[in-house]
Structure 1
Amino acid sequence: MDLFDDLPEPTQTPGAQATNEEKEEESLKRKREDDDTNGKEEELKKVCKEGLPVLKGYVAARRGEREEMQDAHVLLPDMNSCLTALPSGVSRVSYFAVFDGHGGARASRFAAENLHHTLSRKFPSGETQNVDKLIKKCLLDTFRQTDEDFLKKASMQKPAWKDGSTATCVLVVDDTVYVANLGDSRAVLCRMEPEASAGGADGRGRSVTLALSKEHNPTIYEERMRIQRAGGTVRDGRVLGVLEVSRSIGDGQYKRCGVISTPDLRRCQLTANDRFIILACDGLFKVFSADEAVKFVLGVLQDGNAESKAGLKEEEGLFEAACQQLASEAVRRGCADNVTVILVSVGF
């Protein structure tokens, strides 16, 4: 039996009613204050976002003289929709990547389809200390996981897949660029050096080409030593006389010979003097130096006579034309390999 069954319902006294009304008024007041605070936070986020660089990606792909297109690419100027939550203080994440396959197109396509999803799952979120360190760890873990996932899938096939792929990924977190790369695809940044004009005002000066990635091939001393320590050999500049790169996704048969999937990581801050980033497979850089590629793009942008593409603003049309012309020029110069170029415009 419940001891309180027979107790009468409590009656509301005038004093109690007044207390309830006060509570309701206090609750409404708190709600208004919360709304004001949220509004101010949203306004602050909006102001922060407006100060971020505007990034737009353009891509050109040429098969060259190859029977199959083994390159793959991804352009995600706004990756926020892929992320469940952003780290505190971060407003926007962008992702651009190029993958150059060898021995087939399956590794490059797998990386293009899966790497950014793995990255999204591992990306830091919420209140975090040292976001920079967490992002670097996230990139390292993502490359390892992508390689493991592809090798597992490749080993289950009959016969087992022997494809491999380079990877050059540019992750832009607000105005900070993180580049993770394997193999010989590359990323370079065009930065304009301001020069003081006669009137003393700063203007755009000469271009400076900044390397954002590091090549990995068996002729580099550290790479060759790692391969030899693992029991592999380097002949004619190739692992076992066959594989041209010393780091890759896939290439299961070479993993025991010291070929690894650990990327090099580089970071830089974007400035108002930055014009664009070029990501490209080695098909471009076989016939262009990095500086030549940057100057070629600048030439198209400064010429301003590019044919306008439907739906694009004038500047967007120029970047689109520069990207297409750079890839076509690589083929014209005699590159028989696949050529993929991603051009990312940077505007403030």
Structure 2
Amino acid sequence: MDLFDDLPEPTQTPDQPPNTNEEEEDKRLKRKRENSECHSDKQEQEEEEIKRVSKEGHPVLRGYVAARRGEREEMQDAHLLLPDMNSCLSLLPGDVSRVSYFAVFDGHGGSRASRFAADHLHQTLARKFPSGDPENLDKLIKKCLLDTFRQTDEDFLKKASSQKPVWKDGSTATCLLVVDNMLYVANLGDSRAVLCRTEAAADGPRRPVTLSLSKEHNPTIYEERMRIQRAGGTVRDGRVLGVLEVSRSIGDGQYKRCGVISTPDLRRCQLTANDRFIILACDGLFKVFSADEAVKFVLAVLQEGGVEQRSELIKEELRFEAACQQLASEAVRRGCADNVTVVLVSIGY
């Protein structure tokens, strides 16, 4: 299902005349990217990339992360932030200039499934990503995401079944893939993604609104429960076989015969200049925060003063970093005993 298809596309900026110095700098940065790991986040390269993407009219995305163990004995969450995934891709399709990827994985029964997904899902995505000049990029990207989740699940289950004793870990997954200004969200389980967007109000200035970008999968939802029962499983106390809280996951080999699947829910949203940030977090956050409360909490921190007088870019980064850290800490303060991982993605133009 597509989200927000009724929104107008962002106004395109006119093409700029070529600049020899900028072209030379772009070539130098390209050589650096080819020689670096896809996790590289060198400040010089990042700043030059921001300038380039801004000129092309695409959003500038920056990711911030905060993780808290809570009262658990082990941190079973995992995450990955790739604001620039281009260096992981062999060839970009058509007129695409930038691909970004952010993900949160909430493990259960151990941390091996979540860490495996964090290490491998984006690599599988890069191998399957459309290349050349496809006519229907949107459908191909959605197929790519479905194939990537299936392959990641199969690869982990193969590894898990070869261990002695067999690994029984599982993990949710919520992934953001941004292709220029088009956002694709793929999620399974109960981790969530929400977008803060400003909208015009009839009685005055623009106001922030909270938009859900993901769909929760648990056995109490009618469609999920019916699938589990058709597969021969049961739902007791809101859990699969009275044990598993989610109805879709990566791993959980012992529940696959009971209707637990690894097929993600896919949604699409075109980013605009009215978008402020995305919160991507495991259920540890949303056990003590509603989506709207989390967005308002971040906005309050962003509006606070007290940031050192530095460049505007640095001040903005410090505010988002503070908002991310404070949101995770507040979840623990409110009594969440679960692991809490929050990824905050700022959106700028």
- What CA deviation, in whole Å up to 9, does each residue of 1:197-231 have, x standing for no partner? 87xxxx5x211100000000000000000000000
What amino acid is aligned across from residue 241 of structure 2 in structure 1? Answer: L
- What CA deviation, in whole Å up to 9, does each residue of 1:137-173 have, x standing for no partner? 0000000000000000000000000000000000000
Distance change in 2, residues 1:233/1:206 (3 Å): same
Q: Secondary structure at the match of 2:330?
A: helix
* Percent of aligned pairs sharing the same letter: 83
Distance change in 2, residues 1:142/1:49 (3 Å): farther
Deviation, 1:304, is 2.8
In the alignment, what sits opposite 1:151?
Answer: 157
Contact 1:247/1:261 (8 A) holds in 2: yes
In the alignment, what sits opposite 2:109?
Answer: 103
Matches within 5 A, 1:256-275: 256-275=257-276
**Are residue 52 (structure 1) and residue 58 (structure 2) matched?**
yes
In the alignment, what sits opposite 2:8?
Answer: none
In the alignment, what sits opposite 1:163?
Answer: 169
Distance change in 2, residues 1:310/1:235 (3 Å): farther
Contact 1:71/1:105 (8 A) holds in 2: yes
**Are residue 62 (structure 1) and residue 62 (structure 2) matched?**
no
Contact 1:56/1:346 (8 A) holds in 2: yes
Alpha-carbon distance between aligned partners in 2 of 1:235 and 1:122, rounded to the nearest angstrom: 38
Alpha-carbon distance between aligned partners in 1 of 2:124 and 2:182, rounded to the nearest angstrom: 20
Contact 1:97/1:167 (8 A) holds in 2: yes
Alpha-carbon distance between aligned partners in 1 of 2:54 and 2:325, rounded to the nearest angstrom: 33
Q: Which runs of 5+ in 2 are unaligned?
A: 1-19, 27-51
In the alignment, what sits opposite 1:253?
Answer: 254
Deviation, 1:305, is 2.9
Distance change in 2, residues 1:333/1:229 (3 Å): same
When the two chains are superposed, the root-mean-square deviation of aligned CA atoms in Å is 2.2
Contact 1:189/1:276 (8 A) holds in 2: yes
Alignment size in residue pairs: 302
Distance change in 2, residues 1:337/1:308 (3 Å): farther
Deviation, 1:310, is 12
Q: Secondary structure at the match of 1:225?
A: helix
Q: Secondary structure at the match of 2:303?
A: helix
**Are residue 222 (structure 1) and residue 223 (structure 2) matched?**
yes
Deviation, 1:89, is 1.1
In the alignment, what sits opposite 1:277?
Answer: 278
Deviation, 1:311, is 12
Deviation, 1:193, is 1.1
Q: Which runs of 5+ in 1 are unaligned?
A: 1-35
Alpha-carbon distance between aligned partners in 2 of 1:47 and 1:336, rounded to the nearest angstrom: 40
Alpha-carbon distance between aligned partners in 2 of 1:156 and 1:325, rounded to the nearest angstrom: 41
**Are residue 77 (structure 1) and residue 77 (structure 2) matched?**
no
In the alignment, what sits opposite 2:319?
Answer: 318
Matches within 5 A, 1:23-34: none
Contact 1:48/1:91 (8 A) holds in 2: no
TM-score (norm. length: structure 1):
0.83
- What CA deviation, in whole Å up to 9, does each residue of 1:292-326 have, x standing for no partner? 00000000001133578999700100000000000
Alpha-carbon distance between aligned partners in 1 of 2:311 and 2:261, rounded to the nearest angstrom: 44
Distance change in 2, residues 1:85/1:332 (3 Å): same
- Which shifted more, 332-341 or 305-314? 305-314
Deviation, 1:283, is 0.1
Matches within 5 A, 1:322-333: 322-333=323-334
Alpha-carbon distance between aligned partners in 2 of 1:328 and 1:266, rounded to the nearest angstrom: 29
Alpha-carbon distance between aligned partners in 2 of 1:192 and 1:236, rounded to the nearest angstrom: 39
Contact 2:54/2:60 (8 A) holds in 1: no
Deviation, 1:194, is 2.8
TM-score (norm. length: structure 2):
0.83
Contact 1:179/1:212 (8 A) holds in 2: yes
In the alignment, what sits opposite 1:139?
Answer: 145
Distance change in 2, residues 1:139/1:96 (3 Å): same
- What CA deviation, in whole Å up to 9, does each residue of 1:221-278 have, x standing for no partner? 0000000000000000000000000000000000000000000000000011100000
- What CA deviation, in whole Å up to 9, does each residue of 1:90-140 have, x standing for no partner? 110000000000000000000000000000000001111100000000000
In the alignment, what sits opposite 2:132?
Answer: 126
Aligned pair partner of 1:115 in 91, 114, 121: 121
Distance change in 2, residues 1:168/1:87 (3 Å): same
Contact 1:309/1:317 (8 A) holds in 2: no
In the alignment, what sits opposite 1:25?
Answer: none
Contact 1:308/1:318 (8 A) holds in 2: no
Alpha-carbon distance between aligned partners in 2 of 1:122 and 1:212, rounded to the nearest angstrom: 23
What amino acid is aligned across from residue 236 of structure 2 in structure 1? Answer: R
